[in-house]
Every structure is written in C-alpha cells, then in structure tokens.
C-alpha cells in the first residue's frame, strides 16, 4: 500500500531574534571570538617567552639557589607568576625565594629589564613572598621632565627631588631629620636641583630660606621683596658679612635651644618658629676665599657651620650645602661631611662619588663619571644609591619668576630673631 505524503516545508534556522542585519551581527561575533582566541594564544606565547627569559636572567645575575638533587644540580629562581598586559603597561607577578627581599630584585633591576627586552622595571610588594614586577619600555631617566608649578605650604610637606629609574617620584620632607649635601661638576645639574628645591618651599609660611652664597645667583636679588631676603648674604667682596650672618644664625639656634619647653627635645616648625633652611652655595669657595684673607675668619665660618650641622636638628635648622666635590678639607672636615643624611651626586669623578656615598658606591663610579646632565645618585634613609633625574625648572629667568610669584612676603607674625 502506498501513501502520498506532502513533504514538510523546511523552515530556515533563525540565528537571531529578528530584524535586519542579523547575519552580519553573527559574523561580527564570530570574528570577535576568533580575535580573542588569537590574543589569548599570543598572550600565552609571550608569557612563556618571558618566563624563560626571566629564569635565564635571574640565573645570569646570581639571583638563584643551586640545589643538589639525586639527578644532579638544579637551579631555582624566583617563580614567574602571571603576565598582565594593559593600558598601564606590562607586568607580572613573582614569588620570591625563601629569605628573599624585594631589594634583591631591585639591586639587579637594570640588567634584568634589559634581558627581558625592556628599558627598566619597578618592584611592587603584594602579599607574603609575592610581588609585582612592572616593566618600562622607555627609560624614565632618558628624557627631562618639567618641575610642576607646585609649592609646599608647610615644612612637613614633601618637596620633589627627582624621578627614579623605576618611574617613581623621589621626595623629601624638610622637617624630617637630615641635612642635604649636593655635589657635582659645573653643568651637571646641581643648580637646577637647588633652584627647584628652594622654589618649592619659598611660599611655605613655616619655612625661612636663609644662607650664604658667594655667587649671588641661588640667593640674592631673585629673593628681593620676600621675607627671606634679609636672612641671605651674597657676594665675595665682604667675607666678614658671611661670617657675621652665620654667627647670627647660630645665635638664633641657641635661643631656640635655651627656650625648649620641658619634656621636649626638638622644635616643631610653626609660623612663629619656622624651619630655617640654611643654604650654603659653593661653600668650599667661601672657605678658600676666607683662608686667603684671614685664617681665623675661615675658622670662624667653619665653626659656625659645624654647630649648625651638629645641633640644628633639634632647633628646626636644616643645612643645604652645595659643592663641586665633598672633600673633607673643603667642607669643614670629615665630621661635617658625616652629618648629611641626604646626599645627592651629579656627575663627579669616581673617587668623589665614593667619598660622599661610601664604598658601596665605588663600583658605580666609572659609569657615573660620564653621566648626562640632570642624572644623579641619591643616598638617603630608605634610598640606597638610587639613580634619579632632577626636575627641570627652566632657565635662571624661570627661577626668578617663580620666586617673584610664590615667594612669601614679610609677615609681622614671624619670630623676632634679631
């Protein structure tokens, strides 16, 4: 028996909920999925390559442990975790070796980064033994950067010293204990750092920029009309005036120490008792000129500076000394040089670098002897020979403009130190 059946009409498969352009949307989604798979595969390959390079680089710089097992000697390096790619750059997590510290990686940062094909890296602690390594495609020290048009309003606010080779900003709080020593050859960037530092604190109500400057550039006419000017002595014609001014600062310091309240061992900067920043520009030149004129005058100047260095911390006095070389006999002796907690060296001979920063900096000397202008080494609490680039304020005219714009005007509420 036969049966006549009408074949069912085949209905088209619906890949969409309706509307025009559904097929194009479907193709778009398929293409996006294919691109995502390609990106995932590329990410996996890059992660595998960096993992291998990281292991080889760590072994090459000695950041590893040699373990003797039955099958032979094996090398253990900090464990490469997960790679992250994003707008912020390239980074990956690392598990440190037992007993390891982030500084172990930071110490070899330049060599490790170059082995990975990058210009530099920064280490960010995460939790436990894990940390994040952030890679830089451009050397942060390779180009200059402008000093922001910012000023501090208080002595306990940080001033900008420069940008480190890991891209982070290096700052210093003037109110924290520690005098500042800056050395460098002519044209190395020493003046730019001093311009920027003093310009940043010129407006603070509880900071007074004082000192001695035989060049008359860092201190002097640029500060006319400000509250700081009467506490600054410049030029080399009247060397006795420099000695008298330093004695005046010492007398002010003694007055503060004598008036120290009970149960207190230091002065907190206020508007009435400001932090006194004593700038000594080209201090070795001042000593040489004084010695040529009168040896007793040179001893008088040296004695005043030694007292400011040794006792100034308690009285809210901070010394900023600038010199081409920090030889002991040029800055008042080895004792004077040892009082500086913050030490910055621009381009200087290798021996001069070790002279100021210690023997740990000696291996860095040959390279730093040819450093580009603006590149410096910093030794300070929390910073062990950190390379940085000082911010660029501009020419001398720009420095004068900033002091004229931001310099604090005379205020009758200031402490009467005369």
Annotated binding residue 186 = yes
Annotated binding residue 187 = yes
Alpha-carbon distance of 241 to 362, in angstroms, equals: 39
DSSP character at residue 166: T
Annotated binding residue 293 = no
What backbone phi and psi angles, to 5 degrees, belong to 70?
Answer: -60, -35
Annotated binding residue 379 = no
Neighbours of 8 (CB within 10 A): 6
Alpha-carbon distance of 17 to 14, in angstroms, equals: 7
> How would you classify residue 198: left for phi > 0, otherwise alpha for psi between -120 and 50, otherwise beta?
alpha
Annotated binding residue 115 = no
Render 173-223 in DSSP notation, one character per residue. ETTSS-EEEEE--TTSSHHHHHHHHHHHTTT-TTEEEEEEESSSSSSSGGG
Alpha-carbon distance of 398 to 205, in angstroms, equals: 22
Annotated binding residue 190 = yes
Cβ proximity of 397 and 366 under 8 Å: no
- Give the H/E segment covering residue 134: strand 130-136
Question: Can you say which residues are annotated as belonging to the binding site?
Answer: 184-191
Q: Residues marked as binding for ATP?
A: 184-191
């Amino acid at each position: 028996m036969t049966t006549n059946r009408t074949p069912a009409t085949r209905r088209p498969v619906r890949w969409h909920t309706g509307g025009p352009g559904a097929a194009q949307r479907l193709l778009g989604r398929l293409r996006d999925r294919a691109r995502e798979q390609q990106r995932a595969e590329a990410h996996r390959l890059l992660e595998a390559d960096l993992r291998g390079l990281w292991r080889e680089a760590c072994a090459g710089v000695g950041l590893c442990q040699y373990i003797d097992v039955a099958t032979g000697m094996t090398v253990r390096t900090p464990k490469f975790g997960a790679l992250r790619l994003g707008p912020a750059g390239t980074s990956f997590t690392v598990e440190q070796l037992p007993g390891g510290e982030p500084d172990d990686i930071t110490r070899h940062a330049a060599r490790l980064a170059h082995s990975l094909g990058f210009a530099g890296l920064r280490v960010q602690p995460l939790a436990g033994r894990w940390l994040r390594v952030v890679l830089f495609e451009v050397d942060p020290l390779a180009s200059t950067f402008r000093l922001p048009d910012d000023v501090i309003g208080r002595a306990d606010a940080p001033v900008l010293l420069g940008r480190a080779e890991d891209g982070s900003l290096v700052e210093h709080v003037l109110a924290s204990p520690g005098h500042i020593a800056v050395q460098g050859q002519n044209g190395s960037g020493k003046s730019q750092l001093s311009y920027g530092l003093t310009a940043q604190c010129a407006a603070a109500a509880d900071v007074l920029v004082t000192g001695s400057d035989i060049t008359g550039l860092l201190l002097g006419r640029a500060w006319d009309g400000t509250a700081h000017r009467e506490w600054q002595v410049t030029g080399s014609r009247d060397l006795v005036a420099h000695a008298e001014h330093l004695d005046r600062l010492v007398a002010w310091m003694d007055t503060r120490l004598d008036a120290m309240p009970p149960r207190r061992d230091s002065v907190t900067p206020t508007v009435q008792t400001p932090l006194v920043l004593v700038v000594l520009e080209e201090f070795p030149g001042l000593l040489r000129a004084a010695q040529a004129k009168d040896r007793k005058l040179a001893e008088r100047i040296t004695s005043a500076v030694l007292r400011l260095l040794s006792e100034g911390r308690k009285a809210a006095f901070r010394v900023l000394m600038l010199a081409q070389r920090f030889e002991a006999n040029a800055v008042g002796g080895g004792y004077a040089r040892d009082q500086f907690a913050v030490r910055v060296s621009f381009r200087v001979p290798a021996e001069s670098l070790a002279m100021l920063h210690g023997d740990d900096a000696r291996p860095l000397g040959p390279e730093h002897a040819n450093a580009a202008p603006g590149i410096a080494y910093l030794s300070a609490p929390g910073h062990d020979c950190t390379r940085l680039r000082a911010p660029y304020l501009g020419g001398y005219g720009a420095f004068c403009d900033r002091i004229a714009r931001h310099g604090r005007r005379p205020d009758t509420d200031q402490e009467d130190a005369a």
